Structure 1
Amino acid sequence: MLRRRILSIAFLSLLILSGLSSFIGTGIIPTSAETTGGSPTDLSGITVGIYAGYFSSIDPRVNESRTALYNMFTWMNASVFVFNTTELLNGCLWACEILAIPEGLGPTMENRLTNDGLQAIREWVALGGSYIGVRGSAAIAMNGSYFEGYTTTFDLALVNGTSYEVTDLEDRQMTNVSINRDSTGPDLSDMPVNQSVLFVTGRYFVPDSGQDVIYIANYTHSNLPAMIAGGFGQGNYFVSSPHFEYEENGDRDGTDYMDEYDDPDSEWPMLLTISRWLVDSSPTVANISSWPYTPPAPLPMDLILISAGVGAVLILVAVVVVKRR
């Protein structure tokens, strides 16, 4: 009888410890998405992974773009998590249907992703994943770049073509894009003819001969492609040189970055339509909820103290029972 009691206590201890291990080892801390009453055209039930990019106190653009993307996809009712390069290499892409990368310097971004990480993204998209890029992360989706007098080749290269510097706009300004409401991809027929967007030293996209793309929006002043989409293997992509993640006239993007600009339009409804189309027109690739070898997230100190206390009590009880025997 005494032995059974000791085994029961030990089993209870293992249950508690295994529960804590599960809590620690989970690779995702998703945002709770409001799924009640959601429209069938939102992203309820869809998981979006956002690559952290790189953190810089000197250049805030990556941090702010990441924040705005996170809040935009949360607004769409998606479950959202942010991951780093280690988690990318450990397979976290297979937990999501959409990968979004914030803006940043293209060469720096590819260096942080690593060659193995870039290959992992390509393989994931080829099997049905959906890639979304903005500004610098849009540029690396093209295999060629001509910007500020330099020719660059990128390795992510989901599109055979080149992005070129826009030279007839200011480095930073609001500008208009003309929406392709006859798009053969996402149904944009309900979108406005023109939208005001934030342009920051941007590009236009020129696909190589034989490379099929879907033109989503062109710069109104030049009619050159500012936003494009298309397929890569069984998956697909949407890339935009102008920013779509910021709400310059509102605070739901979670940042006041670029709020000095006046933008009466929101690109979020169009991005919701595009994101829904990306998911609906490609196979489901998400098949895991956690992945191996992810560095454990630190537990809150009060939980650590409580769990340590419980463990100590259980061990003490077990020792007392043994001694009484």
Structure 2
Amino acid sequence: MSWGGEQGVRISLSAVVMALRRNVLCVLTTEDADHALALPSGPFDPANDRTFERALRAFVTAQTGFGLGFVEQLYTFGDAGREAPRATPGPDRRREISVGYLALTDEAVDMEPPGARWTPVLDIFPWEDRRSGSPASLQMIMPALSQWAQDDPPRASRLETLLPVLQTGRWDEARVLERYELLYEAGLVAEAARDRDLTPELALGDRSMASDHRRILATGLGRLRSKLRYRPVLFELAPPTFTLSALQAAAEAVVGLKLHKQNFRRGVERTGLVEATGRVSTGTGGRPAELFRYTGAGPGDGQAPGLALPTLR
């Protein structure tokens, strides 16, 4: 592989850092040179950067002031036929490969560098928020997709295949990327219009992002949602002590679905992941609620399980 010149490849590193702020799932964002909403990111320099992860940590700290803890690699994006990210400017026009990482934190402190802030994730993907039923943006999306697929057999086949990821009764909260990819392909999100030099067709109330950053964020949100069911990742976003109502609200903020209160609590208790602290919270606005903490261990062989997510039907 060549790292420079006309045949070279430019590798970009991006971080999806997510936290809960007042029971709102947020992602750490900054701005690119054109003031577009962006993930903390930067180019990997093979001559000076020892590893991808070290370079990523340096970018995040320099751009936001935030120090990353544990990170995991999400995915490497490098589709040859995709318009975003575009080739680098200048005479070499190197193809760009994007490597995304996911990090979770319970320390969503205010950011000081200009442009750095915590942005609500569901403001970027409003169709992913089903806590109050089918969102208005999805009601606009479905007719537009039908129009897009009309009289075009390949598009119609693609839409039919992906209808389950859009339908209310068969909604899979983890398939965030597939939904975004379909909307991009159909030209219904701002990035698609930008990459094709067109005017956006719909006003979905969503927020676009620089380059392919919304695609990377969709991957991160889908990964987080799927991990909730088999790993106790929700506690990485939770404070040291919490009420079960607050824990449920946190889970709902992540999955974008309303959960059944009694079944959720029973599921949490069965995991053995929490224990009562013997103290109560008086800041709930109602009668005092018992405070719990994460024990860090599950039943059986000690492999901590995820949480059941019993949705309301």
**Structure 2-normalised TM-score?**
0.24
**Structure 1-normalised TM-score?**
0.23
Which has the higher Rg, Structure 1 or Structure 2? 1
